[in-house]
Every structure is written in C-alpha cells, then in structure tokens.
Structure 1
Amino acid sequence: MSPQDFRRLIAGVTAQLDGRPLDASLAGWLNATWPAGSATYGELADACRAGVAEGWLCNREHGGIRFGRVIKPTPETHGFSVDVVDMQDMAGPHHVHPHGEIDLIMPLSDGATFDGHPAGWCVYGPGSAHRPTVAHGQALVLYLLPQGAIEFTHGASAA
C-alpha cells in the first residue's frame, strides 16, 4: 500500500460523502453501507495497518498518541483531509470540529472502543467538540475533516 494508493482509496470513499450533511443519518448510512466486516471497511483497515507498519501513517508521536495528517484537503478528496491516530486506553486533547468530523474506528484489540463506539463509523456534526478517547485496548482511528478544519482547545491536556 503506497501513499498514492491510499489517496485513491480515500478519494473513492469521499466521493460518496461529498455534499452530504455530517449528522446522525450519515453515521447510519456509513454503518449500513460500509459496516465493520465489509470489503470497503476491510480495505481501509488493511491500508491503515500497512501504512503504520511502513512508517508513512502515524509517523509522529506526542503524549503516547501516534498520529499524522496523511492527506491535506484537495479537490481529489472532495475537500476532506485525512488524519490517522493510534491510541491505547487514553484520552486525546479536547478539540472542536468547525465543519464536523467523520471517524472510522478500527480496533487493534478485541473490544477496543472510540468514544464508546465499537468498530465502524461515527460522525460529529459541525461545531461539535470532544476529547477523543480510546478505551478497552488499542485502536486506529481515521479522521475525515471537511476543509481540514480542527481547533484544539487552549489549555486542554491529554491526561
């Protein structure tokens, strides 16, 4: 899996998301269309695991969280940026999603959750905020951010 192949895979996904509102109905659609165990979910998870193993995904680390923005928002990705994080039993820094956030949760440990969600998709609407938390083990989480927009809360800690 090369970064270029990964970009093409992501572009195929974001083409289906282009213009859709980021809300609970989108989360339902994603989990019905590409649920954990589906071919597309498997391709994305395999690509993320390969990218981490090859060193071009999650190539930065801070406070025990491995992360990295692998794709900036471009027309090819329909205005979405792509970040991937690798977390284990911890909470990350509090942040706001000005335009929303779409998350693909890929547990690396059986039973690992992200913000209480198991393997699959979750969607945060525009203006939402959270402290991303992986519990019950280790997980990779792929973040799709419209226009790459994210605002970290000043003074928030990752503890």
Structure 2
Amino acid sequence: MSQQEFRALIQNVTSQLAGRSIDASLDTWLNAEHGAQSDTYRHLTQACRRGVEEGWLADREHGGIRYGRIFKADDDLHGFSVDVVDMNDIAGPHHVHPNGEIDLIMPIDDDARFDGRHAGWCVYPPGSAHRPTVSQGRALVLYLLPQGAIEFTRN
C-alpha cells in the first residue's frame, strides 16, 4: 500500500462527505453505509495497519501516543486533512474542533474503545471538544478534519 493508494481510499470517503453537515446524522449515515462490517471499513483498517507497520503512518511519538498528519487539507480530499493516531489505554491532549471532526475507530485489541465507542465512525460537531481517550487496549484512529482545523487547549 503506497501513500497514493491510501490517498485514493480516503478520497473515496471524503467525496461522499463533501457538503454534508458534520453532525449526529452524519455519524448515523457513516456507520450505516461504511461501518465496521463494510468493505470501506475493512480496506481503510488494512491500509492503516499496514501504514503503521511500515512506518509511514503515525510516524511521530509524544507522551506514549504515536501520531501523524499524513495529508494536509486539499481540494482533492474535499477540504479534509487526514491524521492517524495509535493509542493504547491513554488519554490524548484536550482540543477543540472548530469545524468538527470525523473519526474512524479501528481497534487493534478486540475490546478497545475510543471515547467509549467501539469499531466504526464517531462524528464530533463544530465547536465540540474532548480529550481523546482509548481504553481497554490499543486502537488506531483516523481523523478527518475539515480544513485541517484543530485547536489544542491548555489544561
């Protein structure tokens, strides 16, 4: 899996997100159309696992969290940036989503949860904030950020 092939997988998803409201209805739609039992989920999970294993995804580390922005927001990604994190029973830094955040949760350990949710999609609306937390094991999380907007807060 090359970075270009990975980008093409992401483009397939972001093309379907373009122009949609980042809200609870998008969360429901993503899990119905591209949820944990779908080919989209399976392909993205395989690609992310391989990218982490090969070292071109989540290629930085700080405070026990591996992370990395693989793609900046761009027109061919419909204005979304793409980050992948690798977390194991840890809480990340608190931040605000000015334009919302769309997350794909990919447990490595069967019981792993991201913010209490299992495998699938999680959508945070514009203006929301959280301390991203993986519990009960290890998970990869793919973040799609409209215009790449994220604001880290001081605790």
Give the TM-score band, short-chain normalised: over 0.9
Partner of 1:20: 20
Matching residue of 2:29: 29
**Cα distance, 1:112 vs structure 2:** 0.4
The CA distance in 1 between the partners of 2:145 and 2:139, in whole Å, is 19
Distance 2:34 2:125 in 1: 20
Q: Which runs of 4+ in 1 moved over 6 A?
A: none
TM-score (norm 2): 0.99
> Match of 1:135, as an amino acid?
S
Within 5 A, what are the aligned runs for 1:104-119? Answer: 104-119=104-119
Counterpart code for 2:54? E
Is structure 2 residue 98 aligned with structure 1 residue 102? no
SS of residue paired to 1:134: strand
For 1:68, the equivalent position in structure 2 comes to 68
Equivalent runs, 1:123-138 vs 2, <5 Å: 123-138=123-138
How many residues align? The count is 155
| 1:102 to partner: Cα distance | 0.2
Q: Which runs of 5+ in 1 are unaligned?
A: none
Distance of 1:30 and 1:36 partners within structure 2: 10
CA distance in 2, matches of 1:35, 1:72: 24
Per the alignment, in what secondary structure is the counterpart of residue 53 of structure 1?
A: helix
**Partner deviation per Cα, 1:101-147 (whole Å, 9 max, x = no partner):** 00000000011000001000000000000000000000000000000
Please report how far the alpha carbon of residue 35 of structure 1 lies from its aligned counterpart in structure 2 after TM superposition.
1.1
Q: Look up the SS of the partner of 1:117 in the other structure.
A: coil
Using the aligned pairs only, state the percent identity: 70
Please state whether the residue corresponding to 2:73 is helix, strand or coil. coil
1:31-83, Cα deviation, whole Å (9 max, x unpaired): 00011021110000000001001110010000000000001000000000000
Secondary structure in 2 matching 1:93 = coil
Letter in 2 for 1:114: F
Compute the TM-score of the two structures, normalised by the length of structure 1: 0.97
Once residues 19 and 114 of structure 2 are traced to their aligned partners in structure 1, the CA distance between those partners, rounded to angstroms, is: 25
CA RMSD of aligned residues (A): 0.5
Structure 2 residues without counterparts, runs of 5 or longer: none
Report the secondary structure of 1:73's partner residue.
coil
Partner SS for 1:36:
coil
Query: Could you say what secondary structure the match of 1:122 adopts?
Result: strand
